[in-house]
Structure 1
Amino acid sequence: MSKLSEMSAVVIGASGGVGAALEAALIDEGSFAVVHGFARSRSGAQHLDLLSEGSIAAAAAHTANGPPPALVIVATGLLHTAEKGPEKAFRDLDLEWLAKVYAVNAIGPALVAKHFLPLTPRHGRVVFAALSARVGSISDNGLGGWHGYRASKAALNMLMRNCAIEEQRRNKRAIVVTLHPGTVDTALSRPFQGNVQPGRLFDTERAALQLLDVIEELKVSDSGKMFDFEGKEVAF
């Protein structure tokens, strides 16, 4: 089995709050030979736009030139923009907005899995993790609202469950999961932090380290599930 020092790690969304902190933490740990950080706002070989499968394929091709990835993290998400917030009622549903939210939150990560998982080894521990959200749990939904975000994260959870089943046919030690990072002090959560309980708003560095701790403890039997920042399973 190859050592981590002979492998690479990949962070998609490395210009965002959590993604940048994950990239920095992985580099600081020094466990991997290479840490690749990709983002829409970056240029050249580090550019990756989830809305463009061509750019995802190009980023994967760049990664393929070096050590194979043993860890791929998709740290992206779309909840709102300056012009558009999460829907509070069905009368607020909008075709273009729903399509964009699904493209970023569900379809994009699935396409990352399509292009990056074939680069991972066929033997040994491999982890593919995509950031989801507790509000994407159907069984935990008692409030409604945020229709596009909830539904797209639920779709992400299902796509990653399907991916986990398929990937274990290729590599029996592959682990594919979604992760709930909690409420992190980023632009995504900032308009909605008013009701966060004391001690439950995390800075990006703490959130990244918590997620990496959860990833480190994952077992093969965890593949296809969602876990929160404390390593507790979140029911779909």
Structure 2
Amino acid sequence: MRPWSLVSPASRGIGFAIARHLLRTTTAPLVATARMDLDKTKEELVAGLNGVDEERLTVLKVDVLDESTISAAAAHCTSHFPPTASPAHHLHLAFIIPGLLFPEKSPAQIDADDALLTFRTNTLGPMLMLKHFAPFLPRKSTPIDNSDADVLKGLPAIPTAAFMSARVGSITDNRLGGWYSYRASKAGLNQVVRTFDNHLRTASGEKAVAVGLHPGTVKTGLSRDFWGSTKKEKLFDRDWVAERLVEVVKGVRVEGRGKCWDWEGKEIPP
């Protein structure tokens, strides 16, 4: 068994923090993606991580608005992590987390172009990523030996594809309104996660699962406009959130598949 991990995108924000956390706490190869400045991204990801083998990290170009870049990245991974090798390579942990927010406060603020870009980034982007990277997840016939603690160090027991959702994507939890395109795109993503996990139930059985994640309000560029209106204790550091999300994924297991989980490990209703 030769597991590897994926974080897309990883050039900034939560993805950057998750990639650095995985470099520190796991031993498996890591593929990170960025839309540009690949060399700079790699340099920043490994900066200050003493003792980390930089050869474990590959940074590939991916723009979820351009399917050709996703296809090219997947082709690169096929050549470097062939799933037909013996022992087989397989994608063991994936964080697919592109995000864009236009916070419309009223219907009058809805802009068609902005809304379309939101859906292309938050919903269609992850769909295209799973289209090209789902084949790397284990199938029912994939032999997985969970007895090698060194190989699985820091990774979940069950190969997992995690997608960045949001609490505001919950229709049940929607009591405030607003944020039309963002809410709808994340609700759509939750449906994508559930549908993809149903596919994995058939294709992979209990050897791979998909989940959605809610990180809370994190001090990143995406939430910058809301830092001042967020209680200090509810505005999280990205490194802390990265650690929490990895721990949540490790704790979900088969019983929590296809659902959305927050940073505390609590289920968010659809």
TM-score by length of 2: 0.80
Find the counterpart in structure 1 of residue 97 from structure 2.
Answer: 75
Matched to 1:182, the amino acid is G
**How many equivalent pairs are there?**
226
Q: How does 1:105-120 map to 2 (within 5 A)?
A: 105-120=122-137
Q: Residue 160 of structure 1 is aligned with which of 182, 193, 208?
A: 193
Pair member with larger Rg: 2
Structure 1: gaps (5+ residues): 81-85
Q: Residue 98 of structure 1 is aligned with which of 115, 120, 127?
A: 115
Q: Is the 8 A contact 1:11 1:72 kept in 2?
A: yes
Cα RMSD of the aligned pairs, angstroms, is 1.4
Q: How does 1:110-189 map to 2 (within 5 A)?
A: 110-122=127-139, 123=142, 124=144, 125-173=158-206, 174-189=208-223
Find the counterpart in structure 2 of residue 222 from structure 1.
Answer: 256
Q: Residue 190 of structure 1 is aligned with which of 216, 220, 224?
A: 224
Distance 1:196 1:92 in 2: 22
Find the counterpart in structure 2 of residue 83 from structure 1.
Answer: none
Q: Deviations over 1:198-229 (max 9, x none)?
A: 32211111010000000111111211100000
Distance 1:220 1:154 in 2: 22
4+ runs of 1 displaced by more than 3 Å? Answer: 42-45
Q: Is the 8 A contact 2:98 2:125 kept in 1?
A: no
Q: Is the 8 A contact 1:16 1:76 kept in 2?
A: no
Find the counterpart in structure 1 of residue 13 from structure 2.
Answer: 17
Of 196-205 and 221-230, the range deviating more from structure 2: 196-205
Find the counterpart in structure 2 of residue 38 from structure 1.
Answer: 33
Distance 1:162 1:203 in 2: 31
In the TM superposition, residue 70 of structure 1 has moved relative to its aligned partner by 0.8
Matched to 2:63, the amino acid is D
Structure 2: gaps (5+ residues): 40-58, 82-88, 145-157
TM-score by length of 1: 0.91
Q: Residue 236 of structure 2 is aligned with which of 178, 202, 207?
A: 202
